[in-house]
Structure 1
Amino acid sequence: MDAVEALFPRSGEIAAAMIARCAAEIPAYRLLPASVLEGDLVANATAVFELFLTTVAEDRLPTSGELALPIAWGAERARDGLPLEAVLQIYPLAARVAWEQVDGDRALLGARMLSFLGEVMPRVAAAYLRERDDLDWEEREDRQHLTANLLAGRPVGRRDLAEAYDVVVFRLSALPTSSNSRAATDLFRAVRSELDSQPDVLVTFKDGGGVLLVPTSSSAEEVASRVDGVCGRPCTAATARASSHAHIPVAFASALEILELAESLGRPPRLYRLADLAIEYQIAQPSPAREALASVLSPLADHPHLIDALRAFVTTGYNRGEAASTLSIHRNTLTYRLGRIQLLTGYDATQPSDARHLAAAMTAYDIVRRNG
């Protein structure tokens, strides 16, 4: 069929459109981490769509072997905590997106789609139900939706919840940027499984990161440490306290702001509270003072090696030997560069009062540069 030949080269593009439509129209999919939505689901949809086109071109139904992976992917959605209706909804909705892309004989392709869906959907549903029988699924789904409602400020009508929570947001830092979405998704699932043993801690995933609601009677630091343990190294995280359920959305926004500030300033991975970055937070607020501080380093704009030298000197606690080692340069070279910084800016990084001013200027410089 000409339609199949036209659609096959566009399978990845059409699959991405399928998942985007599903995320827009099926609320449960918006609770999945970005690594699943933009990675796993698009890859899965591409493979299923290409299988469908292959069966149309060869005028046959899919074999059991060919359906093994789509069936396994349906079971994964049970582990993700999605309800069965959401898992099944994606198939006709995705088929509609594909059908809209057809320029040729829509009636014939539509009939083939119905036959294909008739083979796939019952088997996916059966695999999903088998997987759900092995999970404490209802409790996991309930906790995920409960967390999403609390973060959105919607009433939950539950009396078995803590009165106050520490909202913790974190980024999983254990994977290099080159890692595939499967590895990231598996790590998210491992984190959630680890925290399932502490049912009073609520967890969900948003935009490539995680959000925890930790009762104030527990320790946010201990819970964050458990996440670090799963990842095998410290994660960058931030927390803010919500004194009531109504304050959870505000605390979430505050924790996210602290996290983004720590990341933008290159702070080492750990759990941050506002008090840990209070000076940096204050400098980050738009004001003439912030601009004036940032301008202190303007003379160094064309000398990135001097910026790097100052940053290393400040972040190592003004330790020349450690800073030189960080930069992989000789200690005398660092001394020379600090002298150049003094000559260009008028501030001596080796003098306490000037050093404090340069440290604040570095923070302002980084923030202004980040904001463009």
Structure 2
Amino acid sequence: MHSDNVGMNNVDALLPRIDEIATAMIARCAVEIPAYRLLPASVLEGDLVANAKGVFELFLTTVAEGRPPTEQELAPPIAWGAERARDGLPLEAVLQTYPTGAGVAWAMAAEGDVDLEVLGTRMIGFLGAVIPRVAAAYLRERDDLDWEQREDRQNLAAGLLAGRPARRAASRKLADSYDVVVFHLPALPADSGPRAATNLFRQIRSDMDSQPDVLVTFKDDGGIVLVPTGGADRLMSRIDAVTGHRCVAAAATAATHADIPAAHNEAAEVLALAENLSRPPGLYRLADLAIEYQIAQPGPARELLARVLAPLAGHPHLIDTLRGFVLSGYHRGDAAAALNIHRNTLTYRLGRIQILTGHDATQPADARHLAAAITAYDIIRHASR
């Protein structure tokens, strides 16, 4: 005969695995629920994992104590349902996380000595208490948002980026041509907490909602924005103002709607190149990194350029010095300040680079060669990671 209570010892076997269960649940949601793939990775891995952990903790606690959750204990999951509405997730995606999470927890429980029959009964009761309240909170929040307009604009953005023609009704709202802007959110301090990225994401979304001519969707740790041609710089100024820091971004122009996927690919490549080369925050176009883009293409010339720095392989501080000197525009004072070293130290290191490589970074011809070499070196190094 089964006990009416799943023993504390059984639940104790799952409690140490709460982090693992929550992480696995959100990872599975990102794979199985398309709407979750539109959220920044920092939101998925931070705020949503923390939310999932809280729900599992509450569930296991109530199971161990043989009681249903109290209204006070249900308040956080209910509030999180409202937050998912502000994140722009559809209700079906929000509610689907609960059976998905239950499946992950069940699979892990089945690996141990847990009374699955009683656990299943308690799990059904818990879901029955939580899901209706979460749905109600979500719908109340959605009523306060201009949901239909936001959802329509996000679907339009996703469709155009995928190369699908806009619906006839939607086409009246669209510009003839767009700048496709891809950006990454600025890195947050380590002590910011799991909600910091989520709050930043919501602030940007709220600002984008106030611009009816802008279409936006989010991906990884940033976003993809379609803004009428000529508006990219203004758009990034607004995003920088919202975040409080300059973002790294790239833009490409799509002359027609059919050109949007290609423009997105170009902007994404330019953004990756700017980040791999440690370029400072700002908005980049292909013309800004045309030489670097060409050097980035695989081939014998790139390998040959990278080998120029082979003598510096055992001296990473010299490679950092060369990179800093190039990024500073060959200005000694700026480079020394950026590297946090004395100008005399910089001069000494540049001398060492000349001795080891045979190229003088202070002479125009050699400086161009070394700049190309550090570009090739950085690109190959990032590609091998």
Same fold (TM over 0.5): yes
Q: Where does residue 4 of structure 2 map in the other structure?
A: none
Letter in 1 for 2:33: I
> Number of matched residues?
371
Shift of 1:178: 4.7
Q: Where does residue 163 of structure 1 map in the other structure?
A: 176
Please tell me whether the aligned partners of residues 309 and 373 of structure 2 are also in contact (alpha carbons under 8 angstroms): yes
Equivalent-residue separation in structure 2 for 1:313 and 1:196 (angstroms):
42
Which residue, out of 42, 53, 58, partners 2:49?
Answer: 42
Equivalent-residue separation in structure 2 for 1:19 and 1:327 (angstroms):
40
Which residue, out of 138, 145, 148, partners 1:138?
Answer: 148
Letter in 2 for 1:148: A
> CA RMSD for the aligned pairs?
1.8
Shift of 1:223: 0.4
Equivalent-residue separation in structure 2 for 1:327 and 1:117 (angstroms):
55
Which residue, out of 6, 21, 29, partners 2:13?
Answer: 6
Shift of 1:52: 1.1
Once the two structures are superposed, residues 201-241 of structure 1 have per-residue CA deviations (whole angstroms, 9 ceiling, x without a partner) of: 1111101111111121x411000110000011211100112
Secondary structure of 1:200's partner? coil
Equivalent-residue separation in structure 2 for 1:132 and 1:109 (angstroms):
33
Equivalent-residue separation in structure 1 for 2:317 and 2:17 (angstroms):
46
Letter in 2 for 1:198: Q
Q: Where does residue 19 of structure 1 map in the other structure?
A: 26
Percentage identity across aligned positions?
Answer: 71
Which residue, out of 142, 150, 153, partners 2:163?
Answer: 153
Q: Where does residue 296 of structure 1 map in the other structure?
A: 308
Please tell me whether the aligned partners of residues 174 and 231 of structure 1 are also in contact (alpha carbons under 8 angstroms): no
Please tell me whether the aligned partners of residues 279 and 327 of structure 2 are also in contact (alpha carbons under 8 angstroms): no
Q: Where does residue 187 of structure 1 map in the other structure?
A: 200
Which residue, out of 225, 232, 248, partners 2:244?
Answer: 232
Equivalent-residue separation in structure 2 for 1:7 and 1:306 (angstroms):
50
1:1-372 equivalence runs, <5 A: 1=7, 2-103=9-110, 104-157=114-167, 158-160=170-172, 161-173=174-186, 175-216=188-229, 218-372=230-384
Secondary structure of 1:101's partner? helix
Equivalent-residue separation in structure 2 for 1:166 and 1:261 (angstroms):
19
Letter in 2 for 1:153: G
Equivalent-residue separation in structure 1 for 2:166 and 2:236 (angstroms):
25
Equivalent-residue separation in structure 1 for 2:24 and 2:151 (angstroms):
26
Secondary structure of 2:36's partner? helix
Secondary structure of 1:169's partner? strand
Equivalent-residue separation in structure 2 for 1:90 and 1:316 (angstroms):
49
Equivalent-residue separation in structure 1 for 2:348 and 2:103 (angstroms):
67
TM-score by length of 2: 0.91
Once the two structures are superposed, residues 41-71 of structure 1 have per-residue CA deviations (whole angstroms, 9 ceiling, x without a partner) of: 2211111111111111111111111001000
Once the two structures are superposed, residues 76-95 of structure 1 have per-residue CA deviations (whole angstroms, 9 ceiling, x without a partner) of: 01101122222222222322
Secondary structure of 1:317's partner? coil
Equivalent-residue separation in structure 2 for 1:321 and 1:5 (angstroms):
60
TM-score by length of 1: 0.94
Equivalent-residue separation in structure 2 for 1:120 and 1:15 (angstroms):
17
Please tell me whether the aligned partners of residues 174 and 233 of structure 1 are also in contact (alpha carbons under 8 angstroms): no
Letter in 2 for 1:43: A
Secondary structure of 2:186's partner? coil
User: In 2 relative to 1, CA 99–289 (structure 1 residues): closer, same or farther, beyond 3 Å?
Assistant: same
User: In 2 relative to 1, CA 337–16 (structure 1 residues): closer, same or farther, beyond 3 Å?
Assistant: closer
Shift of 1:316: 2.0
The range that moved more, 12-21 or 271-280, is 12-21
Please tell me whether the aligned partners of residues 306 and 373 of structure 2 are also in contact (alpha carbons under 8 angstroms): yes
Equivalent-residue separation in structure 2 for 1:156 and 1:295 (angstroms):
49
Equivalent-residue separation in structure 2 for 1:317 and 1:33 (angstroms):
34
Return 5+ residue gaps in structure 1 as ranges: none
Please tell me whether the aligned partners of residues 52 and 116 of structure 1 are also in contact (alpha carbons under 8 angstroms): yes
Equivalent-residue separation in structure 2 for 1:9 and 1:311 (angstroms):
46
Shift of 1:352: 1.4
Equivalent-residue separation in structure 1 for 2:254 and 2:190 (angstroms):
33
